[in-house]
Structure 1
Amino acid sequence: MPAGKKPDIGGPAEAPIVPHYHGHRERARDRFNTVGGDALADYELLELLLHMILPQRDTKALAKDLITKFGSFSEVLGASPQRLAEVKGLGETSITHLKVAQAVAQRYGRDQISLEKPVLAAWSQLLDYCRSQMAFEKLEQFRILFLDKKNRLIADEVQQVGTIDHTPVYPREVIRRSLELSATALILVHNHPSGDPAPSSADVRMTKDIVDIAKPLGITVHDHIIIGKSGHASLRSLKLL
Protein backbone atom coordinates (compact mmCIF):
# COMPACT_ATOMS: atom_id res chain seq x y z
CA MET A 1 0.00 0.00 0.00
CA PRO A 2 1.49 3.36 -1.01
CA ALA A 3 2.67 5.49 1.89
CA GLY A 4 0.05 7.87 3.18
CA LYS A 5 -2.89 6.08 1.53
CA LYS A 6 -5.68 5.21 3.94
CA PRO A 7 -6.92 1.63 3.88
CA ASP A 8 -10.23 1.00 2.12
CA ILE A 9 -12.76 0.24 4.83
CA GLY A 10 -15.76 -0.02 2.53
CA GLY A 11 -18.81 2.13 2.05
CA PRO A 12 -21.30 3.24 4.67
CA ALA A 13 -22.44 0.57 7.12
CA GLU A 14 -25.64 -1.19 6.15
CA ALA A 15 -28.67 -0.57 8.34
CA PRO A 16 -29.58 -3.57 10.51
CA ILE A 17 -32.42 -5.65 9.15
CA VAL A 18 -35.53 -5.25 11.30
CA PRO A 19 -37.81 -8.32 11.31
CA HIS A 20 -41.15 -7.61 9.63
CA TYR A 21 -43.12 -8.47 12.75
CA HIS A 22 -41.59 -5.75 14.92
CA GLY A 23 -43.96 -3.12 13.55
CA HIS A 24 -46.87 -5.45 14.11
CA ARG A 25 -45.83 -5.96 17.73
CA GLU A 26 -45.71 -2.24 18.34
CA ARG A 27 -49.17 -1.83 16.85
CA ALA A 28 -50.48 -4.70 18.98
CA ARG A 29 -49.06 -3.12 22.15
CA ASP A 30 -50.48 0.27 21.18
CA ARG A 31 -53.89 -1.30 20.64
CA PHE A 32 -53.74 -2.97 24.06
CA ASN A 33 -52.76 0.31 25.71
CA THR A 34 -55.58 2.13 23.90
CA VAL A 35 -58.54 -0.25 24.24
CA GLY A 36 -57.46 -2.64 27.00
CA GLY A 37 -57.37 -6.41 27.12
CA ASP A 38 -61.13 -6.92 27.24
CA ALA A 39 -61.49 -5.49 23.72
CA LEU A 40 -58.95 -7.88 22.21
CA ALA A 41 -59.79 -11.18 20.57
CA ASP A 42 -58.41 -14.26 22.30
CA TYR A 43 -55.70 -14.76 19.68
CA GLU A 44 -54.61 -11.11 20.01
CA LEU A 45 -54.22 -11.34 23.78
CA LEU A 46 -52.41 -14.65 23.46
CA GLU A 47 -50.14 -13.18 20.81
CA LEU A 48 -49.14 -10.40 23.22
CA LEU A 49 -48.34 -12.99 25.89
CA LEU A 50 -46.30 -15.03 23.41
CA HIS A 51 -44.39 -11.86 22.43
CA MET A 52 -42.89 -11.88 25.94
CA ILE A 53 -42.23 -15.62 25.95
CA LEU A 54 -40.75 -15.81 22.43
CA PRO A 55 -39.29 -12.33 21.76
CA GLN A 56 -37.30 -13.40 18.68
CA ARG A 57 -40.25 -14.89 16.80
CA ASP A 58 -43.35 -13.85 14.95
CA THR A 59 -46.06 -15.31 17.20
CA LYS A 60 -49.28 -14.34 15.43
CA ALA A 61 -49.61 -17.65 13.56
CA LEU A 62 -48.69 -19.63 16.69
CA ALA A 63 -51.36 -17.80 18.71
CA LYS A 64 -53.99 -18.62 16.08
CA ASP A 65 -52.88 -22.27 15.95
CA LEU A 66 -53.25 -22.56 19.72
CA ILE A 67 -56.72 -21.01 19.74
CA THR A 68 -57.79 -23.30 16.88
CA LYS A 69 -56.56 -26.39 18.74
CA PHE A 70 -57.84 -25.58 22.23
CA GLY A 71 -60.75 -23.21 21.61
CA SER A 72 -60.07 -20.16 23.77
CA PHE A 73 -57.40 -18.20 25.63
CA SER A 74 -58.35 -19.83 28.94
CA GLU A 75 -58.28 -23.30 27.43
CA VAL A 76 -54.78 -22.70 26.08
CA LEU A 77 -53.52 -21.76 29.54
CA GLY A 78 -55.45 -24.64 31.08
CA ALA A 79 -54.12 -27.26 28.66
CA SER A 80 -51.72 -29.85 30.03
CA PRO A 81 -48.02 -29.55 29.18
CA GLN A 82 -48.33 -32.80 27.24
CA ARG A 83 -51.03 -31.40 24.96
CA LEU A 84 -49.23 -28.08 24.55
CA ALA A 85 -46.13 -29.99 23.44
CA GLU A 86 -48.15 -31.30 20.48
CA VAL A 87 -48.19 -27.79 18.99
CA LYS A 88 -45.34 -27.01 16.63
CA GLY A 89 -43.42 -23.98 17.86
CA LEU A 90 -43.73 -24.61 21.60
CA GLY A 91 -40.83 -26.06 23.55
CA GLU A 92 -40.34 -27.00 27.18
CA THR A 93 -39.37 -23.48 28.27
CA SER A 94 -42.23 -21.72 26.49
CA ILE A 95 -44.71 -24.25 27.86
CA THR A 96 -43.43 -23.61 31.38
CA HIS A 97 -43.91 -19.87 30.82
CA LEU A 98 -47.52 -20.44 29.74
CA LYS A 99 -48.18 -22.48 32.88
CA VAL A 100 -46.61 -19.70 34.97
CA ALA A 101 -49.03 -17.27 33.34
CA GLN A 102 -51.90 -19.58 34.31
CA ALA A 103 -50.66 -19.74 37.91
CA VAL A 104 -50.40 -15.94 38.04
CA ALA A 105 -54.00 -15.58 36.82
CA GLN A 106 -55.23 -18.14 39.35
CA ARG A 107 -53.35 -16.50 42.23
CA TYR A 108 -54.76 -13.10 41.30
CA GLY A 109 -58.28 -14.56 41.19
CA ARG A 110 -57.86 -16.20 44.58
CA ASP A 111 -56.63 -12.97 46.13
CA GLN A 112 -59.73 -11.17 44.87
CA ILE A 113 -61.88 -13.35 47.12
CA SER A 114 -59.58 -13.75 50.11
CA LEU A 115 -58.31 -10.32 51.08
CA GLU A 116 -60.45 -9.78 54.19
CA LYS A 117 -63.59 -9.41 52.08
CA PRO A 118 -66.89 -11.30 52.52
CA VAL A 119 -66.98 -13.87 49.75
CA LEU A 120 -70.71 -13.38 49.16
CA ALA A 121 -70.05 -9.72 48.33
CA ALA A 122 -67.60 -10.73 45.60
CA TRP A 123 -69.71 -13.37 43.87
CA SER A 124 -68.67 -12.60 40.29
CA GLN A 125 -64.99 -12.73 41.31
CA LEU A 126 -65.67 -16.04 43.03
CA LEU A 127 -67.18 -17.50 39.87
CA ASP A 128 -64.27 -16.21 37.78
CA TYR A 129 -61.83 -17.78 40.21
CA CYS A 130 -63.60 -21.16 40.22
CA ARG A 131 -63.76 -21.14 36.44
CA SER A 132 -60.05 -20.38 36.11
CA GLN A 133 -59.22 -23.17 38.57
CA MET A 134 -61.54 -25.92 37.38
CA ALA A 135 -63.35 -25.36 34.08
CA PHE A 136 -60.71 -26.99 31.91
CA GLU A 137 -59.58 -29.82 34.16
CA LYS A 138 -59.86 -33.27 32.61
CA LEU A 139 -60.95 -34.96 35.84
CA GLU A 140 -63.70 -34.05 38.29
CA GLN A 141 -62.59 -32.16 41.39
CA PHE A 142 -64.59 -31.45 44.52
CA ARG A 143 -63.54 -28.17 46.13
CA ILE A 144 -64.72 -26.53 49.35
CA LEU A 145 -64.46 -22.89 50.33
CA PHE A 146 -64.51 -22.71 54.14
CA LEU A 147 -65.82 -19.41 55.53
CA ASP A 148 -65.87 -17.75 58.94
CA LYS A 149 -68.87 -16.13 60.62
CA LYS A 150 -68.34 -12.97 58.52
CA ASN A 151 -68.24 -15.07 55.35
CA ARG A 152 -64.54 -14.41 54.85
CA LEU A 153 -62.42 -17.15 53.32
CA ILE A 154 -60.59 -19.35 55.82
CA ALA A 155 -59.39 -22.00 53.38
CA ASP A 156 -59.87 -23.18 49.82
CA GLU A 157 -59.23 -26.90 49.49
CA VAL A 158 -59.65 -29.58 46.85
CA GLN A 159 -61.07 -32.46 48.87
CA GLN A 160 -61.27 -35.12 46.18
CA VAL A 161 -60.16 -35.75 42.60
CA GLY A 162 -62.12 -38.40 40.74
CA THR A 163 -62.60 -39.63 37.21
CA ILE A 164 -63.85 -37.91 34.09
CA ASP A 165 -67.46 -38.11 35.30
CA HIS A 166 -67.43 -38.90 39.04
CA THR A 167 -65.84 -37.71 42.25
CA PRO A 168 -66.42 -39.58 45.52
CA VAL A 169 -67.58 -37.18 48.25
CA TYR A 170 -67.93 -38.16 51.91
CA PRO A 171 -70.26 -35.74 53.75
CA ARG A 172 -68.94 -36.61 57.20
CA GLU A 173 -65.38 -35.87 56.06
CA VAL A 174 -66.56 -32.51 54.77
CA ILE A 175 -68.05 -31.65 58.15
CA ARG A 176 -65.05 -33.02 60.06
CA ARG A 177 -62.75 -30.68 58.12
CA SER A 178 -65.16 -27.78 58.66
CA LEU A 179 -64.99 -28.31 62.43
CA GLU A 180 -61.18 -28.53 62.33
CA LEU A 181 -61.06 -25.12 60.64
CA SER A 182 -63.82 -23.62 62.84
CA ALA A 183 -65.75 -22.81 59.67
CA THR A 184 -69.35 -21.67 60.06
CA ALA A 185 -70.25 -21.66 56.37
CA LEU A 186 -69.32 -23.54 53.20
CA ILE A 187 -69.47 -23.11 49.46
CA LEU A 188 -69.17 -26.40 47.61
CA VAL A 189 -67.75 -26.41 44.09
CA HIS A 190 -67.07 -29.12 41.56
CA ASN A 191 -66.49 -29.28 37.84
CA HIS A 192 -68.00 -31.28 34.99
CA PRO A 193 -65.25 -32.09 32.46
CA SER A 194 -67.97 -32.84 29.91
CA GLY A 195 -68.57 -29.09 29.78
CA ASP A 196 -72.25 -29.19 30.78
CA PRO A 197 -72.72 -27.70 34.26
CA ALA A 198 -76.24 -29.07 34.78
CA PRO A 199 -76.43 -30.85 38.17
CA SER A 200 -77.08 -34.58 38.26
CA SER A 201 -79.43 -36.25 40.70
CA ALA A 202 -76.34 -37.56 42.52
CA ASP A 203 -75.04 -33.99 42.86
CA VAL A 204 -78.31 -32.90 44.45
CA ARG A 205 -78.46 -35.88 46.84
CA MET A 206 -74.87 -35.39 47.98
CA THR A 207 -75.47 -31.70 48.63
CA LYS A 208 -78.57 -32.41 50.71
CA ASP A 209 -76.65 -35.02 52.72
CA ILE A 210 -74.00 -32.41 53.59
CA VAL A 211 -76.67 -29.83 54.48
CA ASP A 212 -78.48 -32.31 56.75
CA ILE A 213 -75.30 -33.02 58.73
CA ALA A 214 -74.07 -29.41 58.78
CA LYS A 215 -77.25 -27.65 59.87
CA PRO A 216 -77.52 -29.07 63.43
CA LEU A 217 -73.88 -28.06 63.96
CA GLY A 218 -74.53 -24.44 63.00
CA ILE A 219 -72.71 -24.73 59.67
CA THR A 220 -74.45 -23.13 56.67
CA VAL A 221 -74.03 -24.39 53.13
CA HIS A 222 -74.44 -21.25 51.05
CA ASP A 223 -74.35 -22.94 47.65
CA HIS A 224 -73.07 -25.77 45.54
CA ILE A 225 -71.63 -24.43 42.27
CA ILE A 226 -70.96 -26.67 39.29
CA ILE A 227 -68.41 -25.40 36.80
CA GLY A 228 -68.38 -26.35 33.12
CA LYS A 229 -66.69 -25.00 30.03
CA SER A 230 -70.00 -23.53 28.91
CA GLY A 231 -70.77 -21.76 32.19
CA HIS A 232 -71.86 -22.64 35.71
CA ALA A 233 -74.88 -23.85 37.63
CA SER A 234 -75.88 -22.84 41.16
CA LEU A 235 -78.02 -25.28 43.12
CA ARG A 236 -79.35 -22.40 45.22
CA SER A 237 -80.36 -20.41 42.14
CA LEU A 238 -82.03 -23.54 40.77
CA LYS A 239 -83.87 -23.91 44.11
CA LEU A 240 -82.28 -27.32 44.64
CA LEU A 241 -80.68 -26.30 47.92
Structure 2
Amino acid sequence: MSEDRQGDLPGFSEAPHFHGHRERLRARFRDVGADALADYEMLELVLFRAIPRRDVKPIAKALLKRFGSFADVIAAPAARLAEIEGVSDGVVTELKLVHAAAVRMGRTKIAQKQVLSSWTSVLDYCRAAMAFAEREQFRVLYLDKKNALIADEVQGEGTVDHTPVYPREVVKRALELSATALILVHNHPSGDPTPSRADILMTQQIVEIAKPLGISIHDHIIVGREGHASFRGLKLIT
Protein backbone atom coordinates (compact mmCIF):
# COMPACT_ATOMS: atom_id res chain seq x y z
CA MET A 1 0.00 0.00 0.00
CA SER A 2 1.38 3.41 -0.92
CA GLU A 3 2.25 6.11 1.62
CA ASP A 4 -0.43 8.39 0.13
CA ARG A 5 -3.11 5.68 0.40
CA GLN A 6 -2.15 4.84 3.98
CA GLY A 7 -2.66 8.45 4.98
CA ASP A 8 -6.34 8.23 3.93
CA LEU A 9 -7.16 5.24 6.15
CA PRO A 10 -7.99 5.14 9.87
CA GLY A 11 -5.03 4.10 11.99
CA PHE A 12 -2.45 5.43 9.57
CA SER A 13 -0.87 8.85 10.06
CA GLU A 14 0.35 10.72 7.02
CA ALA A 15 4.13 10.63 6.69
CA PRO A 16 5.81 14.06 6.88
CA HIS A 17 6.45 15.48 3.42
CA PHE A 18 10.21 15.54 3.94
CA HIS A 19 10.48 11.75 4.34
CA GLY A 20 10.04 11.20 0.60
CA HIS A 21 12.33 14.16 -0.09
CA ARG A 22 15.14 12.57 1.92
CA GLU A 23 15.07 9.34 -0.04
CA ARG A 24 14.80 11.16 -3.36
CA LEU A 25 17.82 13.32 -2.49
CA ARG A 26 19.84 10.31 -1.39
CA ALA A 27 18.92 8.56 -4.63
CA ARG A 28 20.06 11.57 -6.69
CA PHE A 29 23.35 11.59 -4.84
CA ARG A 30 23.85 7.88 -5.52
CA ASP A 31 22.81 8.12 -9.17
CA VAL A 32 24.41 11.36 -10.38
CA GLY A 33 26.95 12.28 -7.69
CA ALA A 34 27.73 15.36 -5.65
CA ASP A 35 28.52 17.63 -8.60
CA ALA A 36 24.85 17.61 -9.61
CA LEU A 37 23.68 18.80 -6.19
CA ALA A 38 23.47 22.37 -4.94
CA ASP A 39 25.34 23.34 -1.77
CA TYR A 40 22.14 23.39 0.29
CA GLU A 41 21.33 19.85 -0.87
CA MET A 42 24.77 18.60 0.14
CA LEU A 43 24.24 20.19 3.55
CA GLU A 44 20.86 18.52 3.83
CA LEU A 45 22.50 15.13 3.30
CA VAL A 46 24.86 15.85 6.19
CA LEU A 47 22.08 17.17 8.40
CA PHE A 48 19.90 14.08 7.82
CA ARG A 49 22.26 12.10 10.04
CA ALA A 50 21.96 14.47 13.00
CA ILE A 51 18.28 15.46 12.61
CA PRO A 52 16.23 12.37 11.78
CA ARG A 53 12.69 13.79 12.13
CA ARG A 54 12.62 17.34 10.83
CA ASP A 55 12.72 19.23 7.55
CA VAL A 56 16.37 20.31 7.41
CA LYS A 57 16.24 22.44 4.26
CA PRO A 58 15.56 25.69 6.22
CA ILE A 59 18.57 24.98 8.45
CA ALA A 60 20.80 24.25 5.45
CA LYS A 61 19.77 27.49 3.78
CA ALA A 62 20.24 29.47 7.00
CA LEU A 63 23.78 28.10 7.31
CA LEU A 64 24.58 29.10 3.73
CA LYS A 65 23.09 32.55 4.23
CA ARG A 66 25.34 33.10 7.25
CA PHE A 67 28.58 31.53 5.98
CA GLY A 68 28.40 31.58 2.19
CA SER A 69 29.21 28.12 0.77
CA PHE A 70 29.33 24.45 1.69
CA ALA A 71 33.09 24.72 2.31
CA ASP A 72 32.60 27.82 4.48
CA VAL A 73 29.94 26.05 6.55
CA ILE A 74 31.90 22.92 7.37
CA ALA A 75 35.03 24.96 8.16
CA ALA A 76 33.22 27.51 10.36
CA PRO A 77 34.05 27.54 14.09
CA ALA A 78 31.75 25.40 16.21
CA ALA A 79 30.63 28.34 18.34
CA ARG A 80 29.45 30.28 15.28
CA LEU A 81 27.66 27.27 13.83
CA ALA A 82 25.76 26.86 17.10
CA GLU A 83 24.37 30.39 16.74
CA ILE A 84 22.07 29.18 13.93
CA GLU A 85 18.61 28.13 15.10
CA GLY A 86 18.22 24.36 14.90
CA VAL A 87 21.95 23.64 14.97
CA SER A 88 22.52 21.28 17.91
CA ASP A 89 25.74 19.78 19.22
CA GLY A 90 25.00 16.77 17.04
CA VAL A 91 24.77 18.93 13.92
CA VAL A 92 28.03 20.69 14.77
CA THR A 93 29.73 17.32 15.23
CA GLU A 94 28.53 16.06 11.84
CA LEU A 95 29.69 19.23 10.06
CA LYS A 96 33.10 19.22 11.73
CA LEU A 97 33.48 15.51 10.94
CA VAL A 98 33.01 16.24 7.23
CA HIS A 99 35.60 19.01 7.42
CA ALA A 100 38.07 16.81 9.29
CA ALA A 101 37.62 14.07 6.69
CA ALA A 102 38.29 16.50 3.83
CA VAL A 103 41.47 17.78 5.49
CA ARG A 104 42.71 14.27 6.29
CA MET A 105 42.10 13.08 2.73
CA GLY A 106 44.03 16.07 1.42
CA ARG A 107 46.95 15.40 3.76
CA THR A 108 47.02 11.75 2.72
CA LYS A 109 47.25 12.70 -0.96
CA ILE A 110 50.34 14.81 -0.46
CA ALA A 111 51.93 12.45 2.08
CA GLN A 112 52.01 9.62 -0.44
CA LYS A 113 53.67 11.51 -3.29
CA GLN A 114 56.54 13.81 -4.09
CA VAL A 115 55.00 17.13 -3.17
CA LEU A 116 56.24 19.10 -6.16
CA SER A 117 54.76 16.56 -8.57
CA SER A 118 51.29 16.91 -7.03
CA TRP A 119 51.02 20.67 -6.67
CA THR A 120 47.26 20.76 -7.21
CA SER A 121 46.84 18.38 -4.29
CA VAL A 122 49.01 20.65 -2.14
CA LEU A 123 46.84 23.66 -2.97
CA ASP A 124 43.62 21.73 -2.39
CA TYR A 125 44.88 20.54 0.99
CA CYS A 126 46.00 24.00 2.09
CA ARG A 127 42.69 25.53 1.09
CA ALA A 128 40.69 22.85 2.91
CA ALA A 129 42.82 23.13 6.03
CA MET A 130 43.18 26.91 6.29
CA ALA A 131 41.34 29.06 3.76
CA PHE A 132 38.16 29.44 5.80
CA ALA A 133 39.68 29.86 9.26
CA GLU A 134 38.78 33.03 11.14
CA ARG A 135 42.30 33.57 12.48
CA GLU A 136 45.62 33.60 10.69
CA GLN A 137 47.64 30.41 10.87
CA PHE A 138 51.20 29.82 9.73
CA ARG A 139 51.93 26.29 8.53
CA VAL A 140 55.17 24.71 7.28
CA LEU A 141 55.46 21.63 5.08
CA TYR A 142 58.89 20.09 5.71
CA LEU A 143 60.32 18.05 2.82
CA ASP A 144 63.22 15.66 2.41
CA LYS A 145 65.77 15.66 -0.42
CA LYS A 146 63.28 13.80 -2.66
CA ASN A 147 60.61 16.42 -1.91
CA ALA A 148 58.54 13.91 0.05
CA LEU A 149 56.65 15.23 3.06
CA ILE A 150 58.40 14.72 6.40
CA ALA A 151 56.09 16.81 8.56
CA ASP A 152 53.17 19.20 8.30
CA GLU A 153 53.10 21.55 11.27
CA VAL A 154 51.18 24.65 12.31
CA GLN A 155 53.85 26.94 13.71
CA GLY A 156 51.53 29.60 15.05
CA GLU A 157 48.03 31.02 15.21
CA GLY A 158 47.28 34.70 15.66
CA THR A 159 44.53 37.22 15.16
CA VAL A 160 42.32 38.01 12.18
CA ASP A 161 45.18 39.81 10.43
CA HIS A 162 48.45 38.76 12.05
CA THR A 163 50.36 35.65 13.10
CA PRO A 164 53.70 35.92 14.88
CA VAL A 165 56.37 34.04 12.89
CA TYR A 166 59.92 33.49 14.10
CA PRO A 167 62.16 32.73 11.10
CA ARG A 168 64.99 31.21 13.15
CA GLU A 169 62.56 28.81 14.86
CA VAL A 170 61.22 27.70 11.47
CA VAL A 171 64.73 26.90 10.25
CA LYS A 172 65.71 25.32 13.57
CA ARG A 173 62.78 22.93 13.25
CA ALA A 174 63.85 22.09 9.69
CA LEU A 175 67.29 21.11 10.98
CA GLU A 176 65.74 18.96 13.72
CA LEU A 177 63.73 17.09 11.08
CA SER A 178 66.64 16.89 8.61
CA ALA A 179 64.46 18.69 6.08
CA THR A 180 66.14 20.09 2.98
CA ALA A 181 63.21 22.11 1.66
CA LEU A 182 60.17 23.95 3.00
CA ILE A 183 56.83 25.15 1.74
CA LEU A 184 55.45 27.99 3.83
CA VAL A 185 51.70 28.43 4.02
CA HIS A 186 49.42 30.89 5.75
CA ASN A 187 45.89 32.15 5.37
CA HIS A 188 44.25 35.55 5.09
CA PRO A 189 40.87 35.49 6.87
CA SER A 190 39.89 38.61 4.93
CA GLY A 191 39.64 36.36 1.88
CA ASP A 192 42.13 38.30 -0.24
CA PRO A 193 45.35 36.27 -0.63
CA THR A 194 47.47 39.23 -1.83
CA PRO A 195 50.80 39.23 0.10
CA SER A 196 51.34 42.10 2.49
CA ARG A 197 54.64 43.91 2.94
CA ALA A 198 55.08 42.08 6.26
CA ASP A 199 54.51 38.74 4.51
CA ILE A 200 57.21 39.53 1.97
CA LEU A 201 59.75 40.66 4.57
CA MET A 202 59.16 37.61 6.77
CA THR A 203 59.62 35.28 3.80
CA GLN A 204 62.84 36.98 2.79
CA GLN A 205 64.17 36.54 6.32
CA ILE A 206 63.46 32.80 6.28
CA VAL A 207 65.09 32.44 2.85
CA GLU A 208 68.21 34.30 4.01
CA ILE A 209 68.58 32.18 7.16
CA ALA A 210 67.83 28.85 5.43
CA LYS A 211 69.98 29.23 2.30
CA PRO A 212 73.45 29.00 3.94
CA LEU A 213 72.29 25.83 5.70
CA GLY A 214 71.34 24.15 2.44
CA ILE A 215 67.59 24.46 3.02
CA SER A 216 65.47 25.65 0.08
CA ILE A 217 62.18 27.52 0.31
CA HIS A 218 60.16 26.12 -2.57
CA ASP A 219 57.26 28.52 -2.12
CA HIS A 220 55.17 30.57 0.25
CA ILE A 221 51.46 30.08 -0.41
CA ILE A 222 48.76 32.38 0.93
CA VAL A 223 45.23 30.96 0.86
CA GLY A 224 41.92 32.74 1.28
CA ARG A 225 38.29 32.42 0.31
CA GLU A 226 39.03 34.26 -2.92
CA GLY A 227 41.82 31.94 -4.05
CA HIS A 228 45.54 31.66 -3.41
CA ALA A 229 48.78 33.50 -4.10
CA SER A 230 52.15 31.87 -4.77
CA PHE A 231 55.32 33.80 -3.95
CA ARG A 232 57.21 31.84 -6.59
CA GLY A 233 54.49 32.54 -9.13
CA LEU A 234 54.68 36.24 -8.24
CA LYS A 235 58.51 36.05 -8.49
CA LEU A 236 58.86 37.03 -4.83
CA ILE A 237 60.96 33.86 -4.42
CA THR A 238 63.48 32.92 -7.10
TM-score by length of 1: 0.91
2:30 counterpart letter in structure 1: N
Change (3 A) 1:16 1:121: farther
Instruction: Specify the alignment match of 2:106 in structure 1.
Output: 109
Cα offsets for 1:1-50 (capped at 9, x unmatched)? xxxxxxxxxxx873453221121112211211222112221111111111
Q: Give the Cα separation in 2 of the matches to 1:158 and 1:207.
A: 16
**1:86-101 pair list within 5 angstroms:** 86-101=83-98
Give the conservation status (yes or no) of the 8 Å contact 2:193–2:227. yes
Instruction: Specify the alignment match of 2:175 in structure 1.
Output: 179
1:213 counterpart letter in structure 2: I
Gaps (5+ residues) in structure 1? Answer: 1-11
Instruction: Specify the alignment match of 1:191 in structure 2.
Output: 187
2:26 counterpart letter in structure 1: R
2:226 counterpart letter in structure 1: S
* Residue of structure 1 aligned with 2:232, choices 200, 211, 236: 236
2:230 counterpart letter in structure 1: S
Q: Percent identity?
A: 62
Instruction: Specify the alignment match of 1:133 in structure 2.
Output: 129
Which structure's CA Rg is the greater one?
Answer: 1
Root-mean-square deviation (CA, aligned residues, Å) is 1.4
Instruction: Specify the alignment match of 1:153 in structure 2.
Output: 149
* Residue of structure 1 aligned with 2:17, choices 9, 20, 44: 20
Q: Give the Cα separation in 2 of the matches to 1:151 and 1:43.
A: 39
Give the conservation status (yes or no) of the 8 Å contact 2:142–2:151. yes
Cα offsets for 1:167-203 (capped at 9, x unmatched)? 1211111110000000011000001111110001111
Q: Give the Cα separation in 1 of the matches to 2:22 and 2:159.
A: 42
Q: Which runs of 4+ in 1 moved over 4 A?
A: none
- SS of equivalent to 2:111: coil
- SS of equivalent to 1:186: strand
